[in-house]
Amino acid sequence: MTGRTRDREVVAAAVIQGRRLLLAQRTRPPELAGLWELPGGKVEPGESPADAVHRELLEELGVEVTVGERIGADVPLRDGLVLRAYRAELIRGTPRALDHAALCWVDARELREIALVGNDRGWLPDLVTLLGG
């Protein structure tokens, strides 16, 4: 809770398998097209952040996940939104780019070099640590 109202949350999922992290390439808006991000989206009214991660990854990647702990700090966004990252583990399905241009699995070195969206860059140290890098 912040102030008198709860933050309107946007979730991002750090799907890690072994020492690799799943990233999705944006198609929109034009200024972000081609950049890479942790997949996710807005938490709907009455939905928990974990439920939102589960729903978004099913919609965007066609996979089911279990949602774990928060990663890194909050990222303030426009219009009173806050972006939060959560660790996620694949439990069913193979990720497919249903709402993105492409998907890729990166290790810690590749993560440091890939063109990430600005909002996700603050989590780089936390993500590199999770990848053992």
Residue 11 — pLDDT band, cuts 50, 70, 90? very high
What average pLDDT does the segment 55-59 reach?
98
Question: What six digits make up the tokens of 23?
Answer: 């990233």
The pTM of the full predicted model, rounded to 2 decimals, is 0.92
Q: Which residue, among 71, 67, 37, has the nearest Cα to 52 in the 3D structure?
A: 67
Q: Which residue, among 49, 123, 122, 116, has the nearest Cα to 88 in the 3D structure?
A: 49
Q: What is the mean pLDDT of the chain?
A: 94
Contacts of 63 (CB under 8 A, 6+ apart): 15, 57, 90, 92, 93, 94, 95
What average pLDDT does the segment 96-117 reach?
98
Going by the DSSP 8-state scheme, the letter that residue 2 receives in this structure is B
Residue 14 — pLDDT band, cuts 50, 70, 90? very high
CATH 3.90.79.10 fits 8-130, yes or no: yes
pLDDT digits (tens, 9 = 90+) for 112-122: 999 999 999 99
